[in-house]
Amino acid sequence: MFEVKNNKMNDERIEEIGDNHIATSAESPIRKDAFDISDEEKIKRIQESVKDILITLGMDLTDDSLQGTPKRVAKAFVNELFMGLNPKNKPKASTFDNNYNYGEMLVEKNIIVYSTCEHHLLPIIGRAHVAYISDGKVIGLSKMNRIVEYFSKRPQVQERLTMQVVQAMQEALGTDDVACVIDAKHLCVNSRGIKDIESSTVTAEFGGKFKEKETKREFLDYLKMDTSFD
């Protein structure tokens, strides 16, 4: 059984923070014993917890529409929405020698982001734009998408997600010259609280040459280009 430590925050402190957007680390707060039990056991436990939540809310789980909901939610949590918590799902970021000596910036735009806010467990939906300048290695385009997907599929804050994408790309490519911009809507803002359906959040992380004014401007200019191919 997992042992849950006492929360450092009391209810009064949680209420004081309210909807303020806080982050504690560039690393996802994952317990050391997170993988001591199997995915199958996690699904069983989450299923029971979801059942308790629905019953507490007053839902009739004998209804045909609701009978399978606890298990569906549990499977979605473990296998899909939060699969990025498990290191076994981390994509292999295979790289290749830059034999054609391409020395300019490579930008992968409009990578779809589906993540979950760790404060309210509501969706974050947006797009990521990732770029790098080769220092002798190149990475497959689909791997950039998969890196974004992997770090998105966990309870997240957008700032951390942006940093994690850059750090993973830097590690794979062996260069600091990586950048990422994410523009996303947070349903914890759009559907509850202030209920502002128009606002979105933009975060950016620039490494190496991308910290230089001209290189950063070049990258941001690429993001303005029309990429519709009708």
Q: Active-site residue 180, yes or no?
A: no
Among residues 47, 149, 156, 158, the one annotated as catalytic is: 158
Q: Active-site residue 120, yes or no?
A: yes
Q: Active-site residue 119, yes or no?
A: yes
Among residues 21, 120, 159, 218, the one annotated as catalytic is: 120
Full DSSP string of the chain: -PPPPPPSS-HHHHHHHTT------SS----TTTTSS-HHHHHHHHHHHHHHHHHHTT--TTSTTTTTHHHHHHHHIIIIITGGGSGGG-----EEE-TT---SEEEEEEEEEEEEETTT--EEEEEEEEEEE-SSEEE-HHHHHHHHHHHHSSEE-HHHHHHHHHHHHHHHHT-S-EEEEEEEEEHHHHSSTT--SS--EEEEEE-GGGGSHHHHHHHHHHHTS-----
Q: Active-site residue 158, yes or no?
A: yes
Q: Active-site residue 129, yes or no?
A: no
Among residues 47, 108, 117, 205, the one annotated as catalytic is: 117
Among residues 156, 164, 167, 188, the one annotated as catalytic is: 188
Q: Active-site residue 21, yes or no?
A: no
Among residues 108, 156, 186, 205, the one annotated as catalytic is: 186
Among residues 21, 118, 159, 218, the one annotated as catalytic is: 118
Q: Active-site residue 170, yes or no?
A: no
Among residues 21, 119, 159, 170, the one annotated as catalytic is: 119
Catalytic residues: 117-120, 158, 186, 188
